[in-house]
Amino acid sequence: MGATAMNRGAEAQWGRWLIGQCVTALLLAVIGVAALNFTLGEPAVPLFWPASGVALAMTFRLGDITAGVVFVVVALLHLGFGAGPSEAVLLGGATAAAGVIGARLLRHFGFDRRFGRLRDVGLFVVIGAGVSSSVGALGGTLGMVGIAESFPEILGICWAADSIGLLLIGPFLLAVDVDRILPRRAPWSHSLWIAGGALLVLLIYGSGMPGAIALPLSYIVFPYAMLVALRCSPAVTMMTVVAMAAIALSCTAAEKGPFAQAGMPLDVFSLHAHLAMLALTALMLASMRAERDAAETRAREHLAALARAGRLDAMSMMAAGIAHQINQPLCAVSSYAQGARRLLREGHSTAELDRALERIVAGNEKASDIVRRIRTFLRSGEGERATEDARELIRDSVQLIRPEYGDHGVRLETDCNDTALPVEVDAVALRQVLVNLLQNALEWVLVPGARARGPVRIRGRRVTNPDCVEILIEDTGPGLPEGDRERLFEPLVTRRADGTGLGLAIARSLVEAHDGTLTAEDAPGGGALMRIRLPAAAYTHGRQAA
Amino acid sequence: MTRETVFLVDDDPDVLDAVSFLLSTGGYRVETFDAPAVLLDQVTSEDAGCLVLDVRLPEMNGLELQDALRARGIQMPIVFITGHGDIPMAVKAVNAGALDFLEKPFDDDQLLEIVAKGLEHDRERREQAARYAAIEAALDSLTPRESEVMEEILRGKLNKIIAADLEMSVRTVEVHRARVLEKLGARNGSDMVRLVLSSERYRDWSP
Domains and CATH numbers, chain A: 16-301 (no CATH), 386-546 (3.30.565.10)
| CB A144 within 8 Å of CB A45 | yes
Nearest residue of B to residue A352 by CA position? B25
Strand partners, A462: A469
**B58 Cβ partners below 8 Å, 6+ apart?**
A406, A409, B11, B35, B36
φ/ψ bin of A208: left (φ > 0), alpha (ψ from -120 to 50), beta (otherwise): left
Closest CB from B14, B22, B58 relative to A339: B22
Phi, psi (rounded to 5 degrees) for A498: -100, 15
Q: What is residue A501's three-state secondary structure?
A: coil
Report the b/e string of A311-320 with b at 16+ CB within 10 A: bebbbebbeb
Distance CA A445, CA A303 (A): 29
Q: What pLDDT is attached to residue A87? A: 85
User: How many Cβ atoms sit within 10 Å of the Cβ of residue B165?
Assistant: 13
- List where CATH 1.10.10.10 sits in chain B: 142-197
Those residues of chain B that have pLDDT short of 70 are 1-2, 84-85, 207
Instruction: Give chain B positions within 8 Å (CB) of A335.
Output: 15, 18-19, 21-22, 105-106, 108
What CATH fold (topology level) applies to the domain B142-197? Arc Repressor Mutant, subunit A (1.10.10)
**A47 Cβ partners below 8 Å, 6+ apart?**
A35, A38, A39, A40, A157, A160, A161, A265, A268, A269, A272
CA atoms within 13 A on the CB side of A29: 11
Distance CA A52, CA A56 (A): 6
Distance CA A90, CA A350 (A): 100
φ/ψ bin of B156: left (φ > 0), alpha (ψ from -120 to 50), beta (otherwise): left
Nearest residue of A to residue B15 by CA position? A332
Distance CA A282, CA A277 (A): 8
Interface contact B15-A328, CB threshold 8 A: yes
What CATH fold (topology level) applies to the domain B4-127? Rossmann fold (3.40.50)
For chain B, the farthest-separated pair of C-alpha atoms sits apart, in whole angstroms, at 74
Q: What is the pLDDT of residues A304-334, one digit of tens each?
A: 788 888 888 888 877 877 888 888 899 999 9
Q: Chain B contact for A359, CB < 8 A? A: yes
| CB A258 within 8 Å of CB A219 | no
DSSP label of A458: E
Interface contact A335-B21, CB threshold 8 A: yes
Those residues of chain A that have pLDDT short of 70 are 1-9, 37-45, 47, 178-186, 261-268, 380-383, 449-452, 484, 491-501, 539-546
Instruction: Give chain B positions within 8 Å (CB) of A365.
Output: none
Closest CB from B12, B21, B106 relative to A336: B21
Q: What pLDDT is attached to residue A336? A: 93
Q: What pLDDT is attached to residue A250? A: 81
- List where CATH 3.40.50.2300 sits in chain B: 4-127
Q: Chain B contact for A139, CB < 8 A? A: no
Nearest residue of A to residue B17 by CA position? A332
